[in-house]
Structure 1
């Protein structure tokens, strides 16, 4: 009976390995050691299924990333080449030449930003990305970054609502990486806010939280789930000048520093939350 059951298990396992089925192994003859063997095999089969699913997801993400970066490179490149042809024309006035040159320059700068962000993200996500973890005065660093955004807030007519604790908040992080995270989150809030921007730093029992929120109009729950994906832009017409990599970079850096970055939609407010363990 045991020998017969081993043949039964082998047959089922061959079907799984040949991808004829994804069903778990079952037993017709119950014996303690055979049950343990079947359980171990089923655990391995489940792990293999997860690995296959993860591989498919990664492949799809890579295909989408390649498609997106190809599109983002092709658009300004086509514009640059078109205006270069116009510049080569003999009957171009000096005013037109200056206008076309400015457009070509803007297109080249757009490509530069895109390629720099893409290169930076690829380096950040590598296993050996260097981080210098040290004690950081988060309140002080946040104020420094906010001062740097004064002009951006002023140009958009936004007066941020800032709530900071009286005591200094300290965390373990890389100063340069943390500053990049704060700049990306604040830049995203300023760029897409339809009103005010709220920044709140607070200490919870086991975490320190930085919450940055701003009102949005057309963002959906489905958009929020994809915000940290590479190149994702919830509104192409409104975010066309961005690379769609800023939030991905922020998410990756937070993960590298053992922090957490999440997004949620609450009463038409996009709420970004950075968390560090105390």
Structure 2
């Protein structure tokens, strides 16, 4: 046998052995994938044969498996949130409806005085307004979270907007006996966002603060690098760490009986609007104080625009 023939036969034998090894490895990988798909094992694909292309294939299959697992987890979480939301909506709508129907029956059946009639009518009107507010908030959140909902980005004088909005809450803070410590910059700070959305976010945060604050309130605004930052700090001794993690969930309220006047949607609406504006809204609990922080980009591309030119 010549050297050339020997080399050819050896090469062919090596290629055949490698090919057979690949076939065995593919069968083994197929069996591993079958067991994984049938939930017989949670073990991902492993390649015992050294082959970069086969390892790359196994890596992509494992990555796809991870994506499927994440998608399934997200689906289950969304379903659970939807079930909870439906339960909360049903409760929140049923409560004022039951009250309205009860007082209407009293108006129809009971012999009542004119004063009692006026009192019952006032209660019915208040319950109807609450029901209307619940439905409006639910509709607004559904609209905001739809992919078709678009915001108009423009340059907003944030310092002026905040000043105007805070003045509108003076009476509400005063009724609660609260004098907030307000710290606004001396210079004009502008952000690129949707003005009506920014106003709604700030108003929702202030409504939440007025409703729940039981002590000092500090409101700060200023520029932090390429971001504008608004922070609202208030005493919140009744909150726990688990409450804070759920504050932005739909229909979540600290009032476990859901007997208050809020829909539980205000902070969720604020969070969704901030996401739409490429901003962030976070909440942290430190030493019994709740800190809400909003951050907006100062420019379209993140470049600072802190002063009017």
Q: TM-score, normalised by structure 1?
A: 0.96
Partners of 1:29 and 1:82 lie apart in 2 by 76
1:61 equivalent to 2:61? Answer no
Aligned runs of 1:173-192 on 2, under 5 Å? 173-192=193-212
Aligned runs of 1:28-107 on 2, under 5 Å? 28-107=48-127
1:235: how far off? 2.4
Q: Equivalent residue for 2:223?
A: 203
SS in structure 1 at match of 2:109: coil
Q: Equivalent residue for 1:165?
A: 185
Change beyond 3 A, Cα 1:73–1:172: same
Runs of at least 4 residues of structure 1 off by over 4 A? none
SS in structure 2 at match of 1:120: helix
Residue by residue over 1:205-244, the C-alpha shift from the partner in whole angstroms, topping out at 9 and shown as x without a partner, is 2322110111112101110000000010112468711000
1:22: how far off? 3.0
1:173: how far off? 0.5
1:13: how far off? 1.5
1:17: how far off? 2.6
SS in structure 2 at match of 1:166: coil
Q: Which runs of 5+ in 2 are unaligned?
A: 1-20, 299-309
Aligned runs of 1:127-166 on 2, under 5 Å? 127-166=147-186
Partners of 1:105 and 1:213 lie apart in 2 by 35
SS in structure 2 at match of 1:88: helix
SS in structure 2 at match of 1:126: coil
Q: Which has the larger radius of gyration?
A: 2
Q: Which runs of 5+ in 1 are unaligned?
A: none
Residue by residue over 1:51-108, the C-alpha shift from the partner in whole angstroms, topping out at 9 and shown as x without a partner, is 1111111111111111110110111111111111111114222222222211111111
Change beyond 3 A, Cα 1:204–1:114: same
Partners of 1:96 and 1:167 lie apart in 2 by 56
Partners of 2:154 and 2:297 lie apart in 1 by 14
Residue by residue over 1:105-154, the C-alpha shift from the partner in whole angstroms, topping out at 9 and shown as x without a partner, is 11111100000000000000011112110000000000010011111111
CA contact (8 A) 1:251 1:260 kept: yes
SS in structure 2 at match of 1:64: helix
Change beyond 3 A, Cα 1:98–1:234: same
RMSD over equivalenced CA pairs, Å = 1.4
Aligned pairs, number: 278
CA contact (8 A) 2:232 2:291 kept: yes
1:18: how far off? 3.0
Residue by residue over 1:191-218, the C-alpha shift from the partner in whole angstroms, topping out at 9 and shown as x without a partner, is 1000122110121123221101111121
Question: Higher mean Cα deviation, 33-42 or 175-184?
Answer: 33-42
CA contact (8 A) 1:190 1:197 kept: no
